Amino acid sequence: MTQVEDVDVVVIGAGGGGYPGAFFLDRAGRRVVLVDPVGNLGGDCLAEGCVPSKAVREVGLARARARRQGFFGLHGPAPEVDWKGVLGHKDRVQRRRYAQHEAELARSGIDMHRGVARVVGPDLVEVEEAEGELRRYRFGDLVVATGSAPSRLPVPGAELAVTSHDLFRLGADLPFPERPVVIGGGYIGVEVASMLEHLGSRPVILEVEDQLLPGFDVSLAGQLADALAGRVGVHLGVRVTGLRQEGGEVVVECHSADHRFELRGDLAVMATGRRPVLPEGLGHLGLPEQGPLAVDAQLRTTNPRVYAPGDVNGRTPLFHAAVRQSLVAAHVIAAGGQPVDAMAFDAVPMTVFSEPELAQVGLGPAAARAELGDAAVVTRAPFELDARAQILEETEGQVELVFDARSDRLVGAQILGVDAAQLIAPLAVAVQRGLGAEDLAKVAFPHPMATETIGAAARARWA
Protein backbone atom coordinates (compact mmCIF):
# COMPACT_ATOMS: atom_id res chain seq x y z
CA MET A 1 0.00 0.00 0.00
CA THR A 2 1.31 3.44 -0.96
CA GLN A 3 2.32 5.49 2.08
CA VAL A 4 0.57 8.85 2.53
CA GLU A 5 2.67 11.94 3.27
CA ASP A 6 1.18 15.07 4.83
CA VAL A 7 2.04 18.36 3.09
CA ASP A 8 0.76 21.90 3.29
CA VAL A 9 0.04 22.52 -0.39
CA VAL A 10 -0.13 20.40 -3.52
CA VAL A 11 0.16 22.34 -6.78
CA ILE A 12 -0.91 20.47 -9.90
CA GLY A 13 0.64 22.13 -12.94
CA ALA A 14 3.95 24.01 -13.19
CA GLY A 15 2.92 26.65 -15.73
CA GLY A 16 2.20 30.30 -15.02
CA GLY A 17 -0.74 29.42 -12.79
CA GLY A 18 1.32 27.04 -10.68
CA TYR A 19 4.99 27.77 -10.14
CA PRO A 20 5.03 31.47 -9.08
CA GLY A 21 2.71 30.73 -6.18
CA ALA A 22 4.57 27.51 -5.35
CA PHE A 23 7.82 29.46 -4.94
CA PHE A 24 6.12 32.08 -2.77
CA LEU A 25 4.65 29.43 -0.49
CA ASP A 26 7.99 27.64 -0.29
CA ARG A 27 9.68 30.88 0.79
CA ALA A 28 6.87 31.38 3.33
CA GLY A 29 7.85 28.10 4.96
CA ARG A 30 5.12 25.84 3.59
CA ARG A 31 5.87 22.32 2.44
CA VAL A 32 4.95 22.35 -1.25
CA VAL A 33 4.59 19.48 -3.70
CA LEU A 34 4.56 20.49 -7.38
CA VAL A 35 3.48 18.04 -10.08
CA ASP A 36 3.78 18.51 -13.84
CA PRO A 37 4.05 16.09 -16.80
CA VAL A 38 7.03 18.05 -18.22
CA GLY A 39 8.90 17.94 -14.92
CA ASN A 40 10.01 21.57 -15.23
CA LEU A 41 8.51 25.02 -15.11
CA GLY A 42 6.82 27.09 -17.80
CA GLY A 43 3.81 25.03 -18.83
CA ASP A 44 2.55 25.22 -22.40
CA CYS A 45 3.76 28.83 -22.69
CA LEU A 46 7.37 27.65 -22.73
CA ALA A 47 6.76 24.19 -24.17
CA GLU A 48 4.78 25.21 -27.23
CA GLY A 49 3.24 28.66 -26.87
CA CYS A 50 4.19 32.23 -26.04
CA VAL A 51 7.97 31.95 -25.82
CA PRO A 52 8.78 29.76 -28.84
CA SER A 53 6.17 31.39 -31.07
CA LYS A 54 7.53 34.86 -30.31
CA ALA A 55 11.06 33.63 -30.99
CA VAL A 56 9.90 32.65 -34.49
CA ARG A 57 7.95 35.89 -34.81
CA GLU A 58 11.00 38.06 -34.12
CA VAL A 59 12.90 36.32 -36.92
CA GLY A 60 10.03 37.14 -39.28
CA LEU A 61 9.99 40.76 -38.15
CA ALA A 62 13.72 41.10 -38.77
CA ARG A 63 13.22 39.86 -42.32
CA ALA A 64 10.17 42.07 -42.88
CA ARG A 65 12.05 45.16 -41.77
CA ALA A 66 14.91 44.23 -44.07
CA ARG A 67 12.45 44.13 -46.96
CA ARG A 68 11.54 47.74 -46.13
CA GLN A 69 15.16 48.86 -45.96
CA GLY A 70 14.77 51.18 -48.95
CA PHE A 71 12.98 53.58 -46.60
CA PHE A 72 16.20 53.93 -44.61
CA GLY A 73 18.63 54.41 -47.47
CA LEU A 74 19.78 50.77 -47.38
CA HIS A 75 20.02 48.48 -50.38
CA GLY A 76 20.55 44.79 -51.04
CA PRO A 77 18.56 41.57 -50.99
CA ALA A 78 16.36 40.60 -48.05
CA PRO A 79 17.70 37.68 -46.00
CA GLU A 80 16.92 34.15 -47.17
CA VAL A 81 15.05 31.98 -44.68
CA ASP A 82 16.72 28.88 -43.24
CA TRP A 83 13.68 27.30 -41.59
CA LYS A 84 15.74 24.75 -39.68
CA GLY A 85 17.88 27.62 -38.43
CA VAL A 86 14.78 29.52 -37.32
CA LEU A 87 13.54 26.47 -35.39
CA GLY A 88 17.02 26.06 -33.94
CA HIS A 89 16.86 29.59 -32.57
CA LYS A 90 13.48 28.79 -30.99
CA ASP A 91 14.87 25.59 -29.45
CA ARG A 92 17.87 27.41 -27.96
CA VAL A 93 15.59 29.92 -26.25
CA GLN A 94 13.44 27.13 -24.84
CA ARG A 95 16.44 25.13 -23.59
CA ARG A 96 17.99 28.19 -21.97
CA ARG A 97 14.82 28.93 -20.05
CA TYR A 98 14.38 25.30 -19.01
CA ALA A 99 17.95 25.34 -17.65
CA GLN A 100 17.20 28.52 -15.69
CA HIS A 101 14.09 26.89 -14.22
CA GLU A 102 16.02 23.77 -13.24
CA ALA A 103 18.42 25.97 -11.31
CA GLU A 104 15.53 27.78 -9.61
CA LEU A 105 14.01 24.48 -8.52
CA ALA A 106 17.35 23.22 -7.22
CA ARG A 107 17.67 26.28 -4.98
CA SER A 108 14.15 25.86 -3.56
CA GLY A 109 12.65 23.43 -1.10
CA ILE A 110 9.84 22.46 -3.50
CA ASP A 111 9.27 18.73 -3.98
CA MET A 112 8.93 18.52 -7.79
CA HIS A 113 7.55 15.45 -9.56
CA ARG A 114 7.42 14.72 -13.28
CA GLY A 115 4.17 12.87 -13.66
CA VAL A 116 0.39 13.02 -13.52
CA ALA A 117 -1.64 13.90 -10.44
CA ARG A 118 -5.18 12.75 -9.74
CA VAL A 119 -7.48 13.45 -6.81
CA VAL A 120 -8.39 10.24 -4.98
CA GLY A 121 -10.09 11.60 -1.87
CA PRO A 122 -11.42 14.78 -0.24
CA ASP A 123 -7.88 15.74 0.85
CA LEU A 124 -5.77 13.22 -1.04
CA VAL A 125 -3.77 13.42 -4.28
CA GLU A 126 -2.06 10.49 -5.99
CA VAL A 127 0.96 11.18 -8.18
CA GLU A 128 1.96 8.71 -10.86
CA GLU A 129 5.54 9.57 -11.74
CA ALA A 130 6.86 9.19 -15.27
CA GLU A 131 8.85 6.14 -14.16
CA GLY A 132 5.66 4.50 -12.85
CA GLU A 133 6.15 5.00 -9.11
CA LEU A 134 3.06 6.04 -7.12
CA ARG A 135 3.04 8.59 -4.31
CA ARG A 136 0.18 9.91 -2.20
CA TYR A 137 -0.08 13.27 -0.47
CA ARG A 138 -2.62 14.56 2.03
CA PHE A 139 -2.93 18.29 1.48
CA GLY A 140 -4.11 21.27 3.47
CA ASP A 141 -4.72 23.31 0.32
CA LEU A 142 -4.80 22.28 -3.32
CA VAL A 143 -3.92 24.47 -6.30
CA VAL A 144 -5.31 23.21 -9.60
CA ALA A 145 -3.26 24.93 -12.30
CA THR A 146 -3.48 22.40 -15.10
CA GLY A 147 -3.96 25.01 -17.81
CA SER A 148 -5.46 24.39 -21.22
CA ALA A 149 -4.84 22.52 -24.47
CA PRO A 150 -5.53 23.30 -28.14
CA SER A 151 -9.05 22.45 -29.24
CA ARG A 152 -10.06 20.94 -32.58
CA LEU A 153 -13.24 21.36 -34.57
CA PRO A 154 -15.46 18.27 -34.42
CA VAL A 155 -15.36 17.75 -38.19
CA PRO A 156 -14.19 14.85 -40.38
CA GLY A 157 -10.46 14.94 -40.99
CA ALA A 158 -9.71 17.34 -38.14
CA GLU A 159 -6.71 15.17 -37.24
CA LEU A 160 -5.05 16.21 -40.52
CA ALA A 161 -4.49 19.72 -39.15
CA VAL A 162 -1.59 20.63 -36.89
CA THR A 163 -1.87 22.82 -33.80
CA SER A 164 0.43 25.25 -32.03
CA HIS A 165 1.94 22.20 -30.30
CA ASP A 166 3.21 20.83 -33.60
CA LEU A 167 4.51 24.20 -34.79
CA PHE A 168 6.35 25.37 -31.69
CA ARG A 169 7.18 22.40 -29.45
CA LEU A 170 10.79 21.82 -28.52
CA GLY A 171 12.36 19.93 -31.44
CA ALA A 172 9.57 20.80 -33.89
CA ASP A 173 10.44 19.52 -37.36
CA LEU A 174 7.51 20.39 -39.63
CA PRO A 175 8.61 21.47 -43.12
CA PHE A 176 8.18 25.17 -43.82
CA PRO A 177 4.60 25.73 -45.07
CA GLU A 178 4.42 27.62 -48.35
CA ARG A 179 0.59 27.76 -48.44
CA PRO A 180 -0.81 27.30 -44.94
CA VAL A 181 -4.56 27.38 -44.33
CA VAL A 182 -5.17 28.72 -40.83
CA ILE A 183 -8.51 27.65 -39.37
CA GLY A 184 -9.52 30.28 -36.84
CA GLY A 185 -9.13 34.06 -36.87
CA GLY A 186 -8.55 34.59 -33.17
CA TYR A 187 -5.27 35.85 -31.79
CA ILE A 188 -3.43 32.55 -32.28
CA GLY A 189 -4.49 32.24 -35.91
CA VAL A 190 -3.70 35.87 -36.70
CA GLU A 191 -0.27 35.65 -35.08
CA VAL A 192 0.63 32.42 -36.88
CA ALA A 193 -0.48 33.75 -40.27
CA SER A 194 1.35 37.06 -39.80
CA MET A 195 4.66 35.51 -38.74
CA LEU A 196 4.62 32.84 -41.46
CA GLU A 197 3.91 35.46 -44.13
CA HIS A 198 6.94 37.44 -43.00
CA LEU A 199 9.04 34.32 -43.47
CA GLY A 200 7.80 33.87 -47.04
CA SER A 201 4.59 31.84 -46.96
CA ARG A 202 1.20 32.79 -48.43
CA PRO A 203 -1.30 32.11 -45.63
CA VAL A 204 -5.09 32.17 -45.65
CA ILE A 205 -7.23 32.62 -42.53
CA LEU A 206 -10.73 31.13 -42.20
CA GLU A 207 -12.94 32.60 -39.47
CA VAL A 208 -16.50 31.52 -38.72
CA GLU A 209 -17.53 34.91 -37.31
CA ASP A 210 -18.06 38.03 -39.42
CA GLN A 211 -15.03 39.81 -37.99
CA LEU A 212 -11.39 38.99 -37.47
CA LEU A 213 -10.48 38.60 -33.79
CA PRO A 214 -13.96 37.98 -32.35
CA GLY A 215 -14.30 39.58 -28.94
CA PHE A 216 -12.08 42.54 -29.80
CA ASP A 217 -13.48 45.96 -30.60
CA VAL A 218 -15.04 45.76 -34.07
CA SER A 219 -13.35 48.93 -35.33
CA LEU A 220 -9.93 47.89 -34.09
CA ALA A 221 -10.24 44.39 -35.54
CA GLY A 222 -11.36 45.88 -38.85
CA GLN A 223 -8.31 48.13 -38.98
CA LEU A 224 -6.03 45.16 -38.40
CA ALA A 225 -7.80 43.20 -41.14
CA ASP A 226 -7.23 46.11 -43.51
CA ALA A 227 -3.56 46.26 -42.52
CA LEU A 228 -3.15 42.53 -43.23
CA ALA A 229 -4.86 42.80 -46.63
CA GLY A 230 -2.49 41.98 -49.45
CA ARG A 231 -0.27 39.95 -47.12
CA VAL A 232 -2.74 37.45 -45.72
CA GLY A 233 -5.93 36.13 -47.25
CA VAL A 234 -8.86 36.47 -44.86
CA HIS A 235 -12.25 34.76 -45.32
CA LEU A 236 -14.89 35.76 -42.75
CA GLY A 237 -18.22 34.08 -42.07
CA VAL A 238 -16.82 30.71 -43.18
CA ARG A 239 -17.57 27.41 -41.47
CA VAL A 240 -15.10 24.56 -41.99
CA THR A 241 -17.00 21.30 -42.54
CA GLY A 242 -14.15 18.87 -43.10
CA LEU A 243 -10.57 18.20 -44.18
CA ARG A 244 -9.11 15.56 -46.44
CA GLN A 245 -5.75 14.64 -47.87
CA GLU A 246 -5.16 14.63 -51.61
CA GLY A 247 -1.63 13.82 -52.62
CA GLY A 248 0.67 16.25 -50.85
CA GLU A 249 -2.11 18.74 -50.17
CA VAL A 250 -4.65 19.25 -47.43
CA VAL A 251 -8.07 20.18 -48.77
CA VAL A 252 -10.22 22.26 -46.41
CA GLU A 253 -13.96 22.06 -47.13
CA CYS A 254 -15.76 25.33 -46.40
CA HIS A 255 -19.32 26.59 -46.25
CA SER A 256 -20.21 30.29 -46.28
CA ALA A 257 -23.62 31.92 -46.25
CA ASP A 258 -24.12 31.59 -49.99
CA HIS A 259 -21.87 28.83 -51.30
CA ARG A 260 -19.57 25.91 -50.62
CA PHE A 261 -15.93 25.95 -51.66
CA GLU A 262 -12.59 24.31 -51.00
CA LEU A 263 -9.15 25.67 -50.19
CA ARG A 264 -5.97 23.71 -50.79
CA GLY A 265 -2.69 24.14 -48.95
CA ASP A 266 0.42 22.30 -47.92
CA LEU A 267 -0.51 22.64 -44.23
CA ALA A 268 -3.70 23.18 -42.24
CA VAL A 269 -3.31 24.86 -38.86
CA MET A 270 -6.10 24.38 -36.31
CA ALA A 271 -6.24 27.64 -34.32
CA THR A 272 -9.75 27.33 -32.92
CA GLY A 273 -9.01 28.21 -29.33
CA ARG A 274 -8.04 26.30 -26.24
CA ARG A 275 -10.00 24.25 -23.69
CA PRO A 276 -9.36 23.93 -19.95
CA VAL A 277 -7.66 20.71 -18.85
CA LEU A 278 -8.75 19.35 -15.47
CA PRO A 279 -7.10 16.64 -13.37
CA GLU A 280 -8.96 13.39 -12.80
CA GLY A 281 -11.00 12.99 -9.64
CA LEU A 282 -12.23 16.50 -8.91
CA GLY A 283 -15.61 14.99 -8.04
CA HIS A 284 -14.04 13.92 -4.70
CA LEU A 285 -13.80 17.64 -3.93
CA GLY A 286 -17.33 18.50 -5.02
CA LEU A 287 -16.06 20.15 -8.20
CA PRO A 288 -17.02 19.54 -11.85
CA GLU A 289 -14.94 17.07 -13.85
CA GLN A 290 -15.17 19.09 -17.07
CA GLY A 291 -15.14 22.67 -18.26
CA PRO A 292 -13.64 25.74 -16.61
CA LEU A 293 -13.65 25.94 -12.81
CA ALA A 294 -15.57 28.91 -11.41
CA VAL A 295 -13.45 31.07 -9.09
CA ASP A 296 -13.79 34.24 -7.06
CA ALA A 297 -11.35 37.16 -6.93
CA GLN A 298 -9.10 35.14 -4.59
CA LEU A 299 -9.06 32.24 -7.11
CA ARG A 300 -11.01 30.01 -4.72
CA THR A 301 -13.38 27.46 -6.19
CA THR A 302 -16.62 26.47 -4.51
CA ASN A 303 -14.44 24.25 -2.32
CA PRO A 304 -12.61 26.73 -0.03
CA ARG A 305 -9.53 24.49 0.14
CA VAL A 306 -9.12 24.39 -3.66
CA TYR A 307 -7.78 27.23 -5.82
CA ALA A 308 -7.81 27.32 -9.62
CA PRO A 309 -5.51 30.00 -11.10
CA GLY A 310 -4.73 30.32 -14.81
CA ASP A 311 -6.31 28.97 -17.96
CA VAL A 312 -8.17 26.29 -16.02
CA ASN A 313 -10.75 28.86 -14.88
CA GLY A 314 -11.22 30.34 -18.37
CA ARG A 315 -11.42 33.95 -17.14
CA THR A 316 -8.31 35.43 -18.77
CA PRO A 317 -6.42 32.59 -20.49
CA LEU A 318 -3.05 34.34 -20.80
CA PHE A 319 0.30 33.45 -19.23
CA HIS A 320 0.85 36.82 -17.55
CA ALA A 321 -2.65 36.69 -16.09
CA ALA A 322 -1.95 33.18 -14.80
CA VAL A 323 1.22 34.37 -13.04
CA ARG A 324 -0.67 37.09 -11.19
CA GLN A 325 -3.50 34.69 -10.31
CA SER A 326 -0.98 32.17 -8.99
CA LEU A 327 0.44 34.76 -6.62
CA VAL A 328 -3.01 35.93 -5.49
CA ALA A 329 -3.92 32.34 -4.58
CA ALA A 330 -0.60 31.86 -2.78
CA HIS A 331 -1.01 35.07 -0.77
CA VAL A 332 -4.48 33.97 0.34
CA ILE A 333 -3.28 30.46 1.23
CA ALA A 334 -0.37 31.87 3.25
CA ALA A 335 -2.86 34.10 5.12
CA GLY A 336 -4.95 31.10 6.15
CA GLY A 337 -7.66 31.79 3.60
CA GLN A 338 -8.12 35.46 4.43
CA PRO A 339 -8.81 37.68 1.35
CA VAL A 340 -5.53 39.61 1.61
CA ASP A 341 -5.20 39.88 -2.18
CA ALA A 342 -7.53 39.93 -5.17
CA MET A 343 -7.28 39.44 -8.91
CA ALA A 344 -8.29 42.42 -11.07
CA PHE A 345 -9.67 40.43 -14.00
CA ASP A 346 -10.83 43.61 -15.76
CA ALA A 347 -7.30 45.07 -15.90
CA VAL A 348 -5.48 42.26 -17.71
CA PRO A 349 -3.88 43.48 -20.94
CA MET A 350 -4.32 41.43 -24.10
CA THR A 351 -1.92 41.65 -27.04
CA VAL A 352 -2.02 40.21 -30.53
CA PHE A 353 1.54 39.84 -31.83
CA SER A 354 0.69 40.49 -35.45
CA GLU A 355 2.14 43.26 -37.55
CA PRO A 356 0.94 45.81 -36.79
CA GLU A 357 0.52 44.81 -33.16
CA LEU A 358 -2.83 45.13 -31.45
CA ALA A 359 -3.41 45.46 -27.71
CA GLN A 360 -6.26 46.29 -25.37
CA VAL A 361 -7.14 46.44 -21.69
CA GLY A 362 -10.41 47.09 -19.90
CA LEU A 363 -13.40 48.40 -21.83
CA GLY A 364 -13.27 49.21 -25.52
CA PRO A 365 -15.33 52.12 -26.89
CA ALA A 366 -18.41 50.05 -27.75
CA ALA A 367 -18.41 48.16 -24.44
CA ALA A 368 -17.91 51.41 -22.53
CA ARG A 369 -20.84 53.07 -24.26
CA ALA A 370 -23.03 50.05 -23.50
CA GLU A 371 -22.03 50.15 -19.82
CA LEU A 372 -21.58 53.88 -19.19
CA GLY A 373 -23.82 55.48 -21.79
CA ASP A 374 -23.04 59.15 -22.43
CA ALA A 375 -20.40 59.08 -19.67
CA ALA A 376 -18.07 57.09 -21.93
CA VAL A 377 -15.51 59.43 -23.49
CA VAL A 378 -12.94 58.25 -26.05
CA THR A 379 -9.79 60.15 -26.98
CA ARG A 380 -7.38 59.23 -29.75
CA ALA A 381 -3.83 60.02 -30.84
CA PRO A 382 -2.71 58.74 -34.26
CA PHE A 383 0.74 57.26 -34.81
CA GLU A 384 1.09 59.28 -37.99
CA LEU A 385 1.98 62.22 -35.69
CA ASP A 386 4.40 60.20 -33.51
CA ALA A 387 8.16 60.68 -33.94
CA ARG A 388 9.14 57.05 -33.32
CA ALA A 389 6.48 55.76 -35.71
CA GLN A 390 7.78 58.16 -38.35
CA ILE A 391 11.38 57.06 -37.76
CA LEU A 392 10.35 53.42 -38.25
CA GLU A 393 8.03 54.22 -41.19
CA GLU A 394 5.24 52.45 -39.25
CA THR A 395 2.66 55.21 -38.93
CA GLU A 396 -0.59 53.24 -39.20
CA GLY A 397 -2.86 52.93 -36.18
CA GLN A 398 -3.49 54.92 -33.02
CA VAL A 399 -3.83 54.91 -29.25
CA GLU A 400 -7.39 55.15 -27.93
CA LEU A 401 -8.16 55.89 -24.30
CA VAL A 402 -11.60 55.34 -22.77
CA PHE A 403 -12.63 57.43 -19.76
CA ASP A 404 -15.61 57.55 -17.45
CA ALA A 405 -16.53 61.24 -17.61
CA ARG A 406 -18.14 61.13 -14.16
CA SER A 407 -14.82 60.38 -12.44
CA ASP A 408 -12.39 61.02 -15.30
CA ARG A 409 -11.02 57.54 -14.53
CA LEU A 410 -9.41 55.50 -17.32
CA VAL A 411 -11.59 52.42 -17.82
CA GLY A 412 -9.99 51.02 -20.98
CA ALA A 413 -7.45 51.48 -23.72
CA GLN A 414 -6.74 49.96 -27.09
CA ILE A 415 -3.80 50.33 -29.42
CA LEU A 416 -3.11 49.36 -32.99
CA GLY A 417 0.38 50.00 -34.25
CA VAL A 418 4.01 50.38 -33.30
CA ASP A 419 5.09 48.96 -29.90
CA ALA A 420 1.47 48.25 -28.89
CA ALA A 421 2.54 45.28 -26.74
CA GLN A 422 4.82 47.56 -24.72
CA LEU A 423 2.49 50.55 -24.55
CA ILE A 424 -0.43 48.59 -23.12
CA ALA A 425 1.43 47.77 -19.88
CA PRO A 426 1.40 51.27 -18.31
CA LEU A 427 -2.20 51.66 -19.40
CA ALA A 428 -3.09 48.42 -17.62
CA VAL A 429 -1.53 49.90 -14.48
CA ALA A 430 -3.62 53.04 -14.97
CA VAL A 431 -6.84 51.03 -15.36
CA GLN A 432 -6.09 48.89 -12.32
CA ARG A 433 -5.13 51.85 -10.13
CA GLY A 434 -8.02 54.03 -11.25
CA LEU A 435 -5.85 56.79 -12.74
CA GLY A 436 -7.36 59.56 -14.83
CA ALA A 437 -6.56 61.73 -17.81
CA GLU A 438 -4.77 64.30 -15.65
CA ASP A 439 -2.47 61.63 -14.18
CA LEU A 440 -1.43 60.44 -17.64
CA ALA A 441 -1.20 63.91 -19.17
CA LYS A 442 1.24 65.06 -16.47
CA VAL A 443 3.75 62.26 -17.20
CA ALA A 444 6.82 63.39 -19.18
CA PHE A 445 7.00 60.40 -21.51
CA PRO A 446 10.47 59.96 -23.10
CA HIS A 447 11.12 61.36 -26.55
CA PRO A 448 11.20 60.10 -29.24
CA MET A 449 9.39 56.97 -28.06
CA ALA A 450 5.89 55.76 -28.85
CA THR A 451 4.82 56.21 -25.23
CA GLU A 452 4.46 59.90 -26.09
CA THR A 453 1.27 58.95 -27.90
CA ILE A 454 -0.26 57.95 -24.56
CA GLY A 455 0.39 61.47 -23.32
CA ALA A 456 -1.05 62.98 -26.50
CA ALA A 457 -4.26 60.95 -26.14
CA ALA A 458 -4.55 61.93 -22.46
CA ARG A 459 -4.02 65.62 -23.24
CA ALA A 460 -6.93 65.44 -25.66
CA ARG A 461 -9.00 65.03 -22.49
CA TRP A 462 -6.93 67.15 -20.08
CA ALA A 463 -4.45 69.80 -21.26
CA 212 to chain centre: 17
Question: Which of 3.50.50.60, 3.40.50.300, 1.20.210.10, 3.40.50.150 would CATH assign to domain 158-272?
Answer: 3.50.50.60
Same fold, 4-48+88-149+275-345 and 158-272: yes
Contact status, residue 285 vs residue 304, Cβ threshold 8 Å: no
Q: Could you tell me which CATH number the domain at 356-459 has?
A: 3.30.390.30
pLDDT along the chain (463 residues), means of 10: 92 98 98 96 95 96 86 86 97 98 97 97 96 95 97 97 96 97 97 97 97 92 93 96 96 94 97 96 97 97 98 96 98 98 97 96 95 97 97 95 97 97 97 97 97 97 87
Contact status, residue 7 vs residue 32, Cβ threshold 8 Å: yes
State residue 76's pLDDT score. Answer: 84
Q: How far apart are CA 303 and CA 287, in angstroms?
A: 7
Instruction: State whether the Cα torsion 335-340-344-345 is positive or negative.
Output: positive
- Cα atoms in the 13 Å half-sphere on the side-chain side of 278: 19
State residue 68's pLDDT score. Answer: 81
SS3 127: strand
Contact status, residue 312 vs residue 290, Cβ threshold 8 Å: no
- What are the extents of the domains in the chain? 4-48+88-149+275-345, 158-272, 356-459
Residue type, 68: R
Continuous segment of H or E residues that includes residue 90: helix 83-107
State residue 1's pLDDT score. Answer: 63
User: To which CATH superfamily is domain 4-48+88-149+275-345 assigned?
Assistant: FAD/NAD(P)-binding domain (3.50.50.60)
State residue 74's pLDDT score. Answer: 85
Contact status, residue 125 vs residue 34, Cβ threshold 8 Å: no
- Residue 342 — φ and ψ, nearest 5°? -150, 145
